[in-house]
Structures are given as C-alpha cells and as structure tokens.
Amino acid sequence: MLQQSLFIIMAALVLLTAGLVAFRPRPIESAMWLILNFFFTAGLYVLLGSHFVAVIQILVYAGAIMVLFVFVILLLNLDPKELGDETSLHWSSVVMFVGMLSFLLLILHVAGPQTLEPMEGLLPDSKFGSVEALAQKLLTDYVWGFELAGVILLLAIVGVGMLAYRKPKPKTPKFLDHQERPV
C-alpha cells in the first residue's frame, strides 16, 4: 500500500515537473525542471524494481543529455531582450525546485528498505530489470525505436555543430563606408 501511494505521488510529480518544463519562460529554468523530471522518473523505476534502468536514467538523461541541452542553450547566446523583462531567476522557482528535490529524497528514504527487496510477483530466478533482459527486449522487440533514438541523437549532435559554426561577417571596405571621412 505504501509503495502504491508513493508511486502515485511520484507520478504526479513527474507530470508537474513536465508542465513546469513546458511553461517556464527561461530556457535554463526549463532545463533545471527537466533534470528534476529525470530524477523523478528514475524514482519511478526504483519503485517498480528496475534499478538498472533507474541508474541508466540518471547517468544518460540527467547527465549526458542535459549537458547537451544546456550546451545548446548557451550556444544560442540569447539576447536579454528575447528572454523577457527580467533575466534573473525567481526565488519562487528556486524554492520550489529545492523543495521538490528534497521531497524526492524523502520519498526514497521512506521507501528505502522496501524498494531494494524483490517484488512479490517475481520468482527468485527472474531476469526482470536485468541488463540481459533489457538488451534482449531492446534489440529484438524495439530495434527500430532503438535505432531511431540513435539517429535522433546523431542529428542533435550535428545540429549543435551547425549552431556552433558561425560564418564571419564580411567587412565592408573603407571606401564603401557611409561615414564622413576627416579632411
């Protein structure tokens, strides 16, 4: 019963942080909420008994993918006028972010010993959540989605490279300059 209620709370927090990602006005704030969303999703995997997928969720998404997102945000070099009137981070956003992160840690602390035990419906020799079972599923049943994810990541890397490459502005010759010359 405790695990089911924690799952419902965690799922609601995943939906809430996803909404905050979509509706925050500043890209860096959205990236912060997306990191927290990845942590909540990993918490859901822990509650489901799939610890390997939870660790991979943190390492790959909250680590590598978010570095790529923040890199793209910084490469865009947005003008403060494009971001809105205020360019500083709101205290309410920081307090809400830290509060939700603390709540996530509290949930995982409360559910700690129960989440590390095997689920009731599984046999002791079950391979559910193991690396072998995940690889077998990915490379047999979901091979097209797996390959599509690889292509999308490759396109993201090419996109970052194209954003990073900026053509130098051609310099106008002095005689075409419309300013007055000193006599």
Other C-beta atoms closer than 10 Å to the C-beta of 158 total: 10
Find the DSSP H helices in the chain: 2-23, 27-47, 51-56, 66-76, 80-83, 91-110, 112-116, 131-140, 143-164
Token output for 12: 């609601």
d(CA 131, CA 86): 47
Q: Report pLDDT digits (tens) over 151-180.
A: 887 887 787 777 666 666 676 666 655 555
Say which amino acid occupies 26: R
pTM above 0.75, yes or no: no
Q: What is the pLDDT of residue 55?
A: 86
Q: What is the pLDDT of residue 94?
A: 73
Q: What is the pLDDT of residue 84?
A: 54
Annotation: CATH topology of 1-118: Four Helix Bundle (Hemerythrin (Met), subunit A) (1.20.120)
Say which amino acid occupies 102: S
35 close to 66: Cβ distance less than 8 angstroms? yes
> pLDDT means per 10 residues in the chain (183 residues)?
82 88 80 88 87 86 81 70 56 75 74 61 70 82 86 81 68 60 57
Q: What is the pLDDT of residue 174?
A: 61
Domain coordinates in residue numbering, the chain:
1-118, 126-166
